[in-house]
Amino acid sequence: MEIFFVLSQLFLSVFRAAAPPDVSVSEGALLDIGTPYIKFKSNIIADTQVRYVRNSGVCETTPGVNQWSGYLDIGTNMSMWFWFFEARNESDTAPFTLWLNGGPGCSSMIGLFQENGPCQVNPDNQTTVINPYSWNSKSNMIYVDQPIGSGFSYGTVDVNSTFASAPPVWTFFQLLFENEEFEKFKSREFILATESYGGHYGPEFVAFFEEQNTKIMNGTLEGQVMNITALMINNGWHDPLIQFESYLEFATDAPGYGQLQSDEILAAINESLYKEGGCRDQLIACYRAETEESNKICYDADDFCLMNVQGPSIGDLDQYDFLQKASSPNPFPPMYYVNFLQNTTIMQKIGAQVRYSDCSDPVLGQFNSTGDDARTLLPQLGALADSGLKILIWAGETDINCNWVGVHESVLAMDWYGNQTLTRTPFTNMTIDGETVAAYQNVDNFTFARVYGAGHEVPAFKPEASLEIFSQIIHMEPLHSVP
C-alpha cells in the first residue's frame, strides 16, 4: 500500500503516531542469517559500500536474466535496500528505471510483487509465478526501499520530509554507478516511475537530481551526471488543497459510477471543507506559512482534513478501489508477498537482514512531524513540465485516496507553458487490440491519462495496458492506441 496505507477507519490513530527526533533500528533487530555478500567499498565516500547477492534465483527465473539484491551502505548506520533486475530483452541498451512506492515509509517491494515486477507470489506464500507483463520486459528495473527504515532498509531514521529524502537517494545512485557491476548503466536513459506519495517524491527527486547535474557540469560538484529522461507518477499526491477538495466532488459523483456517499455525509464534508477555519482555510494557511511554526500549521491542517474530509469520503469502501469494501476478506491485490519476504530462507537467498514490513510507522511519524503531507509539490512538477521533460501523470479511476479527478485538476492548475493547451485538449480513448483501456491528453512531452477499471495500484489491475503505456513513455512516444 502507499499514501495513508496504515490508516485505520479512523484514519488517524496510526497516521499520527508520534516520532522522536530520530529512531534507530537496534543491532538486536538485525538477523544473522549468514548471507554470503559480494562487497565493494566506495572510492568516493568513506564508510560506504555496496553488498549484494547476485542471481539469487528468487523471483526472476527467466534464463539469462541477471539480478542483484542487497544493500548500499550510504553512510554510518544507513543501509538502503535495493533489488535490481536486468531487462529481459536487450539489457545492454535498454533504459534504466527506478521504481519507488510511497507512504511515506512504504516499501518498493509492494510495486515489485503486487504491480510490475518479474514475479508474483502464489497463495501458498512460498512460491512465485513469472509475471509476463513485468516492466523489466522493456527496461532494466531497480526497486529501492527509501527513506532508511522503509521495507528492508535499516539504520537511523532521520529523514522527515520529501525535501530531505532526495539527497540520500542521489547519493545511493552515485555510489551504485561507481560499482563495476552497475557502471555500465550510469549513462543510460534514467526514468523515475512512482505512485501515490510519489506525487511528492517524483517532482522533488527529479528537480534535485537535475540541480546536481547542473553543479557537476559547471564544475562546482564532483559526481556522475544522471541522464534523466522521463517521470511517471500514477495516482499521485501532488497538491493537498486541490486534492482534498476533490474528495467531495468524487464522493458526490465518481465519473461513470455515481454517488459514493449519502447526502448527509456529503453535506458534512462540505461544511468541514468550506467553513471558516475549516480544511480549505487551514491548508491555505499551511501554504502561506514561512516561519518555524509552519510544521505545526501544516500538521494540524492535515489532521483536520484527514479526519473530516478524507475519512468520510471513503466510509466503508476500500480507499484504493471503491468497487471493494474495506472489510473484504480477499482484497485485491493480495498481500501474499509479505509472508514470502518474512521467510528466513528467502531472506538469506536475497541478502535481507531485517524482518520485512510493508510500511514503517517511524518513517511516517517523521514526515508527520513536519506536516509534509499537507505541502504542495505542484510548483516543482510544473517547472519540470515547463522544461520539456517527458512526463506521464496517470491514474486508475476506482481509487478514492488519490482519485483521478483530483489528480487531473491538480495538473490543470500547474503553471507551465502548456497550461491553456492542456485545458482545451479533449480526451482521446486509448485502445489495445480494440479494447478501450484509458483516456488521455497529450501536450508535447506531457501526458495525462485516466485508466479505466483500475484502482490505486494501476499495474496490478491492468498489467497489459500498464506495460504498453510504460513502453510508449520510455520510448518517448505520445500516448496512442495499439491496433
Greatest CA separation for the chain: 63
Work out the number of other CB atoms within 10 angstroms of the CB of residue 117: 26
Let me know the angle formed at the C-alpha of 240 by 162 and 328, rounded to the nearest 5 degrees: 95
Alpha helices for 3-154 (secondary structure H): 109-110
- Per annotation, catalytic residue among 42, 79, 196, 272: 196
In the annotation, is 399 catalytic?
yes
The 3-state DSSP class for residue 393 equals strand
In the annotation, is 456 catalytic?
yes
Nearest-angstrom CA–CA distance, 228 and 213: 10
Residue 344 cell numbers, joined? 528466513
The 3-state DSSP class for residue 239 equals coil
C-alpha torsion angle, residues 168, 173, 174, 176 (rounded to 10): 120
- Per annotation, catalytic residue among 399, 408, 410, 466: 399
- In 3D space, the residue among 47, 80, 52, 69 whose CA is nearest the CA of residue 156 turns out to be 80
Q: Please report which helix (H) or strand (E) contains residue 176, including its range.
A: helix 162-176
Q: Evaluate whether 168 touches 368 at the Cβ level (below 8 Å).
A: no
**Dihedrals φ, ψ of 97, to 5°?**
-120, 130
Residue 64 cell numbers, joined? 539469462
3-state secondary structure 233-288: EECCCCCHHHHHHHHHHHHHCECCCECCCCHHHHHHHHHHHHCCCCHHHHHHHHHH
In the annotation, is 386 catalytic?
no
Nearest-angstrom CA–CA distance, 362 and 365: 5
- In 3D space, the residue among 372, 455, 380 whose CA is nearest the CA of residue 411 turns out to be 380
* Sign of the dihedral through C-alpha 308, 309, 311, 317: positive
Identify the burial level of 476 via C-beta atoms within 10 angstroms of its C-beta, where 0-12 means exposed, 13-18 middle and 19 or more buried: exposed
Work out the number of other CB atoms within 10 angstroms of the CB of residue 1: 23
- Per annotation, catalytic residue among 200, 238, 408, 456: 456
Residues annotated catalytic, as ranges: 196, 399, 456
